Structure 1
Amino acid sequence: MKILIVGAGAVGGYFGARLHAAGRDVSFLVRARRAAMLREHGLRLRSPAGDLDLTDVKLVERAALQPQYDLVILGSKAYDLDDAITSMAAAVGPGTAILPLLNGMQHLDLLGQRFGRQAVLGGQCVIASTLDAEGAIVHLNGHAGLTFGELAGGSSERAARLDEALNVQGFELRQSPDIVQAMWEKWTMLAALASATSLMRASVGDILQGPGGLAFIEGMLAECAGVAELEGHRPGDTFYHRTRGMLTEHGSTLTASMFRDIGNGNRIEADHIVGDLIRRGEAKGAKTTLLQLAYLHLKAYETQRERSGQARN
């Protein structure tokens, strides 16, 4: 199976490195700057699950793409999605499966419009990783997981082939019979965490120390879950109670990556993670008061960042 990883950053680079190390036929679609860095230093991974120094990875740039790939794994940030779709288009043939690892749901609509809904799988990943100053991928803990499935639910011959190809050491792989439900549940948790910690510029534990902190976090989670329910994907009781427990743990240092991106002056996925949830909720008459306040804060940050000339990716 020929696999194309779109990008070689903290997410796509991690999973691509593990697949390459296991002998899979992997190529990385990268921009010129990243390609030069990888040619000079190789693809380096620092992880509690095992380090990798790969000097023989296959790199390809947009102009050289051919529709020869069985699987395209898309791990870009949402704000780079339009560019990623344009860049990878030449790699997608009639039988190519596309596995996006973005949060939220809007990317499924965009990919389906461009390549056809039947080409697109549902997917999500759990990993804490970043790039260091020299371009190495740093895995921040010992866990990494990837879940995928057919958007229509159930299983298929295609899913079975992907399960075999992606089952390698270095991350936990799971094929879900209801990937859309799993994606909605993760979105519910992530949107609540990102909205709460970004709006308050504080960890879960610090928010809970303030007056009304518990009610604020519970209200944010309830709004996110309410949108999911109106969309036909009510979070399961076990998931909801586990998530509530995580978000209401006194003394917790938990924050969202969006909160950390704001602190570092980086771009954020405000529209994809929070804005799209509000849009879907308002179309169904959901209460989104707290979400709208968080979204206003995020958009004000984006305006300030743009005005200050911080054009970092």
Structure 2
Amino acid sequence: MKILVVGAGAVGGYFGAHLARAGLNVDFLVRPARAESLRERGLVVRDVDGRSHAVPVSALTADQLEAGYDLILVTVKSYGFDAALKDLTPAVGPRTVVLPFLNGMRHIDLLVDRFGAERVYGGVAMVMTRLGAEGEIVEIGTMGELIFGPVGESPVLALEDVRAALDTGTYQATAVTDIRQQLWNKWVFLATLGACTCLMRAPIGRVNSAPGGQEFTSGMFEEAIAVATASGFPPDQEARERANALVATTTAATTTSLYWDLTHGNPVEAEHVIGDLVARGRELGVPTPLFSLAYTHLCVYEAGRD
């Protein structure tokens, strides 16, 4: 199977390196400077014990891309998705499946509109990595799992074939038939945790330990659940309990990549993770005053960056 990984950052670089080391036919679609670095140094992964491994990889830029891929993994940040979609389109053939690992649902809607549901999968990436100063992938925890499945009833590439390609045995590869529900489950959790920690500029445990903190975080969580429910994808009891265990903690120093980017002066996924949830709530008549406040907060931050 011929695989294209769009992006070589914390998610794409980590899982793409595993695929390359497993001997799969993998290309990386990246910007020119990143392509030059990958060709010279390889894709460097530093594990939780501090050991670094350089994996030789094939790096392409958009002008070098041709059709013929079976599977395209999209791993860019949401604010880079529109540009990535334009770049990857020439690689999509009649039997190609596009599998994005982004948060939220906006990207799924855009891909289905562009390529049709039969050529789109949905994916959830569970990994604890960051992109280092020299472009290396840095593990900050041992979590590694890909959850994926088709969004349409008749995918051009069978689920078992995708699972076989992605299951390297070095991380967990989970094939599901309810990927839209899985995407909503993660979105509800991630948006809540991200909005709470960004708005309060603190890890979730510190937020919940402050006066009114638990009322605030539970209110945010219920808003997200209400939007998901009105959209037809209410989190099941297990997903709610798992998410609430962390959202309500008073001890964990847990944050999100949204918080990390905000506190380090980076661009943030405000529109995709928070803004789209607010917009869907508005369309469905679901009030989201706390999420609306968090979205305004992030937009003010982005305006200051500009």
TM-score higher than 0.5: yes
Look up the match of 2:53: 52
What amino acid maps onto 2:175 in structure 1? Answer: Q
Q: Give the alignment of 1:157-176 within 5 angstroms.
A: 158-176=158-176
- Which residue pairs with 2:293 in the alignment? 293
Q: For 2:5, give the aligned amino acid.
A: I
Aligned runs of 1:93-242 on 2, under 5 Å?
93-152=93-152, 158-242=158-242
> Which stretch shifts more, 121-130 or 39-48?
39-48
Please say if residues 39 and 58 of structure 2, whose CA atoms lie closer than 8 Å, have aligned partners that are also in contact. no
Letter in 1 for 2:53: L
CA distance in 1, matches of 2:76, 2:216: 31
TM-score (norm 2): 0.96
| Aligned residue runs from structure 1 range 228-307, under 5 A | 228-306=228-306
Answer whether contact 1:69 1:93 (CA < 8 A) is retained.
yes
- Take 1:218 and 1:146, find their aligned partners in 2: how far apart are those partners? 28
Identity rate, percent:
41
Q: How high is the TM-score relative to the length of structure 1?
A: 0.94
State the 1:156 CA deviation: 8.5
Structure 1 pair 171–269 and aligned structure 2 pair: CA distance change class (3 A):
same
RMSD (Å), alpha carbons: 1.6
C-alpha contact (below 8 Å) 1:18/1:169 kept by paired residues: no
Give how far 1:153 is off: 6.2
In 2 relative to 1, CA 172–154 (structure 1 residues): closer, same or farther, beyond 3 Å? farther
Give SS of 1:37's match.
Answer: helix
Closer, same or farther in 2 for the Cα pair 1:203/1:153, shift >3 Å? Answer: farther
Moved more, 46-55 or 5-14: 46-55
Letter of the aligned partner of 1:2 in structure 2? K
Check 1:287–1:208 CA distance in 2 against 1; reply closer, same or farther (3 A cut): same
- How big is the shift at 1:116? 2.1
Deviation by residue 1:13-42 (Cα, 9 ceiling, x = unmatched) = 111110010111101111110011112211
Distance 1:261 1:294 in 2: 15
Residue 67 of structure 1: aligned partner: 67
CA contact (8 A) 2:46 2:138 kept: yes
Gaps of 5+ in 1: 307-313
Instruction: Give the 3-state SS of the residue equivalent to 1:193 in structure 2.
Output: helix
1 CA distance for matches of 2:143 and 2:156?
Answer: 28
Measure how far apart 1:54 and its partner are. 1.4
Change (3 A) 1:89 1:154: closer
Q: Distance in 2 between matches of 1:27 and 1:155?
A: 23
In structure 1, C-alpha distance between the alignment counterparts of 2:71 and 2:80, rounded to whole Å: 20
Change (3 A) 1:162 1:51: farther
Structure 1 residue 117, shift from structure 2 partner: 2.3
The reply on whether 1:38 has 2:38 as its aligned counterpart is yes
Count of aligned pairs between the two proteins: 305
Q: Which residue of structure 2 aligns with residue 311 of structure 1?
A: none
Q: Deviations over 1:86-130 (max 9, x none)?
A: 111111111100000000000011112222222110111001111
For 2:103 and 2:130, the matched residues in 1 are separated by 17
Task: After superposition, give the CA deviation of every residue in 1:66-95 in whole Å (9 maximum; x if it has no partner).
Answer: 111000000001100111011111111111
The aligned amino acid for 1:298 is L
**Secondary structure of the residue that 2:158 maps to in structure 1?**
helix
Q: Give, in angstroms, the shift of residue 169 of structure 1.
A: 2.8
3-state DSSP class of the match of 1:250?
A: coil
Shift of 1:253: 0.6
- Equivalences for residues 77-92 of structure 1 within 5 A: 77-92=77-92
